[in-house]
Structure 1
Amino acid sequence: MHRDFKHSRPATTSGFTLVELLVVIAIIGVLVGLLLPAVQAAREAARRMSCSNNFKQLGLALHNYHSAYNELPMHGGGTHPTVATHPWVNTTTGNNMRLSMLVGLMPFVEQQGLWEMIANPNDFDQDGTIDFPAMGPTPENIDYVPWATDIPTLRCPSDPGKGLPSLGRTNYAANLGDSTDYMRDGYVYVRNDSSVLPYAATNATAQRTNAAHRGFFIVHKSSQFRDVLDGLSNTIAMGELTTDLGDKDARTSLTSGGTYSTNNNHWTIVVTPNWCEQHLDPERPQFWRPEAPIVGATSGRGFRWASFNPTFTMIHTVRPPNSEICSAGAVNRNNLMSVSSRHQGGAHVLMGDGAVKFITDSIEAGNQSNRMVYQWGTAAFNNSPGSASPYGLWGALGTRGAREVIDGEF
């Protein structure tokens, strides 16, 4: 008997083979590897643009302040305590002439509410007794709300620093020029026998300050745009800084003690601006050596926007951008403060005319071993009062009246 058999075919399914799947995964991996750096670069570009915009707002605030008061906000201004002491002494009866120029800008950067708190007496614990006078206590006081407040306009989004042990952080600081001599005290008589208020200037302090304070701002002294003889477009008003993260970054933390600081001898820095360079870690030159001791936890760069102290709100145009900062032993002494940032290859500066420029780390910075300009400088050392800056284009941009010619772009 003949039978017809129908040939059956095995059922087929569509899909990737293992080899095809591995190829697809490999391609996706390559694409992700190519895309992530581009995404990260785009994010940083956006953060850098936002940082620049903050600086432009501060530039506009400076000009509006000058239009309103016909002067610049004082760096090292404020109120006296009830009993005569020294500007570096903490007190709750006044801010002891220790406020930064940023405090005066608050009404001009949309911080009117905060300014009202600062400008009026404050009952901190709501017990009916005034705890802090108008313009507040000295800037280290954590109980005073304004000093502990982070101001968005003062923060660069590329900088991740936040919270204690800082109070209100800032990434923008006043330019004090190309010399650190008498930087903390400038223009007022504050010796140990100071017993009268207000702190007064003397011929000696005035001569010393006039010789060394060559930047856009002058400690404890009011100034105007007309004092910028080199022209607003040729003179840096403020510079960017990166705040301390507690990681011994040489741009943000101060060394102390023994051979690692100049032990309150600020002349070491004045005559050898690159003195602290020897203490950098040779394997990681952005950081101090592992054994280097660091000044106290609350002394990090940019930790108090309200304080005029060099470590918090000053920059100098001596060491190139992103160089180490150099300590005279404590946060409130005549320390040398460089410009710095978390951006790649440089940092922003605000020019006197309100323009924001990005200065690269490789800007021409003259002779880094040359003595700073100060009252007793000499022509032999290229640092007599009134001399052109020894620190090249970078130093020239930081001085307001040395008549250096700025030619070309920077």
Structure 2
Amino acid sequence: MPSTWLRRKGFTLVELLVVIAIIGVLIALLLPAVQQAREAARRIACINNMKQFGLATHNYHDSFNTLPLSINANRAVLPYIEEDALSEMYDPGLAYDDGTNVALLTMMPDTFQCPSAPESGVPTIETGVQTSDYAFSGGSPWGELLFSPSIHYARYNFALQSGKRPFGKITDGLSNTMLQIESGGRAHVWIQGQRLSWYPNYDYHGSDWAWGEDTEAWTGTGAVCCGQLMSTYATFTPNPTDPTGGIPTRVDFTGGNINQTNMHAWPYSFHPGGVGVLMCDGSVHFLPEYVSPDVFKAIVSSDNGDMIESGYIQ
């Protein structure tokens, strides 16, 4: 029998390398599609969370003929998102961090967590409280000076301000007024996709960068997205010697992107291109991060007479 018949058939080295190269190309082509599909699923879950908040707020309004106060909206809607047990555990006669209310600080429901936010639901480093990835609208104690040192807008009201606030007082229209917006990852300070590591036990304990734990704890004053929005349109420059460990430089009124930082419960998400926003009619939209100050002002105001033109929100 010829010796050629005894040879073992198989791939040559060149053929094997070609196959490996083809597989590598296919993986490189498929990986972004897989990542996009995962993010799309996470974004849908985030939208569903906000829709639950919208439905819960409407059910609350049906019961009391008013919107819940922004300072305790998270606690107020608990019975309407099937969290009656947590609602009954909370003692309104005590501070959020006193007595039996302490246990609730680390019992935040999944509805308050955006799946795209890194370490969503992880307690803060120093005090160990959980923070919501969503912020309800609140009043504007600063009044006029909001977006530009040279432009003074008339003082306007938010939907969930103090006092009785039925839907009838939202004269700009429920579909034109913001009820809640994403403000993700607030167990830590994030700026432009970078988690800052400076002063790691600094997490929201008061300063120019934060208001204190009571506004960030999910059972605290509600993590209100407030009217001091000038830094929403700011420019942030990383510390040149320590980009993640040093305090960045902030220049207000100079930027054009609202998805800059989560400090002060400002609009911030980990979804590419913008942030989710819940309107007072219960609809959820995707607000582009480069929305103009005028449009954003119209969205957050509730009775200022300004309307949103079609096409500005998705």
TM-score by length of 1: 0.58
Q: What is the DSSP-based 3-state SS (H/G/I as helix, E as strand, rest coil) of the residue aligned with 1:313?
A: coil
Alignment match, 1:185? none
Alignment match, 1:249? 190
Q: CA deviation at 1:314?
A: 2.3
Contact between 1:142 and 1:167, CA under 8 Å: does it hold in 2?
Answer: no
Alignment match, 1:223? 165
Q: What is the DSSP-based 3-state SS (H/G/I as helix, E as strand, rest coil) of the residue aligned with 2:180?
A: strand
Aligned pair 1:396/2:302, yes or no? no
Aligned pair 1:137/2:105, yes or no? no
2:22 maps to which of 27, 30, 42: 27
Cα distance per residue 1:162-219 (max 9 Å; x no partner):
1343413211111126x4428xxxxxxxxxxxxxxxxxxxxxxxxxxxx84611111x
Alignment of 1:304-319 (within 5 A): 304-308=217-221, 312-316=223-227, 319=232
Alignment match, 1:214? 157
Segments of structure 1 that go 5 or more residues without pairing to the other structure are 1-5, 77-99, 119-133, 183-210, 251-284, 327-334, 366-391
Which residue type is aligned with residue 306 of structure 1? T
- What is the RMSD of the two structures over their aligned residues, measured on CA atoms? 2.8
Contact between 1:151 and 1:168, CA under 8 Å: does it hold in 2?
Answer: no
Aligned pair 1:358/2:301, yes or no? no
Q: Distance in 1 between matches of 2:201 and 2:278?
A: 29
Distance 1:151 1:104, change over 3 A: same
Contact between 1:142 and 1:148, CA under 8 Å: does it hold in 2?
Answer: no
Alignment of 1:310-349 (within 5 A): 312-316=223-227, 319=232, 320-324=257-261, 337-349=265-277
Q: Distance in 2 between matches of 1:31 and 1:19?
A: 19
Contact between 2:70 and 2:224, CA under 8 Å: does it hold in 1?
Answer: no
Contact between 2:135 and 2:181, CA under 8 Å: does it hold in 1?
Answer: yes
Alignment match, 2:203? 297
Which residue type is aligned with residue 268 of structure 2? S
Which residue type is aligned with residue 227 of structure 1? K
Contact between 1:348 and 1:357, CA under 8 Å: does it hold in 2?
Answer: yes
Distance 1:314 1:232, change over 3 A: same
Q: Distance in 1 between matches of 2:77 and 2:271?
A: 25
Which residue type is aligned with residue 159 of structure 2? F
Q: CA deviation at 1:242?
A: 1.1
Percent of aligned pairs sharing the same letter: 33
Alignment match, 2:131? 169
Q: CA deviation at 1:24?
A: 0.3
Q: Distance in 2 between matches of 1:110 and 1:7?
A: 80
Q: Distance in 1 between matches of 2:23 and 2:258?
A: 40
Q: Distance in 2 between matches of 1:142 and 1:242?
A: 28
Contact between 1:147 and 1:168, CA under 8 Å: does it hold in 2?
Answer: yes
Higher Cα radius of gyration: 1
Alignment match, 1:240? 182
Q: CA deviation at 1:404?
A: 1.0
Segments of structure 2 that go 5 or more residues without pairing to the other structure are 144-153, 233-256
Contact between 2:131 and 2:187, CA under 8 Å: does it hold in 1?
Answer: no
The aligned length equals 264
Q: Distance in 2 between matches of 1:245 and 1:68?
A: 33
Alignment of 1:54-133 (within 5 A): 54-76=49-71, 100-118=72-90
Which residue type is aligned with residue 39 of structure 2? E
Cα distance per residue 1:210-253 (max 9 Å; x no partner):
x84611111x423111110101011111111112354x523xxx
Cα distance per residue 1:378-407 (max 9 Å; x no partner):
xxxxxxxxxxxxxx0110111001101322
Which residue type is aligned with residue 83 of structure 2? Q
TM-score by length of 2: 0.75
Distance 1:294 1:8, change over 3 A: closer
Contact between 1:180 and 1:212, CA under 8 Å: does it hold in 2?
Answer: no
Q: What is the DSSP-based 3-state SS (H/G/I as helix, E as strand, rest coil) of the residue aligned with 2:219?
A: coil
Q: CA deviation at 1:113?
A: 1.1
Which residue type is aligned with residue 163 of structure 1? P
Contact between 2:274 and 2:287, CA under 8 Å: does it hold in 1?
Answer: yes
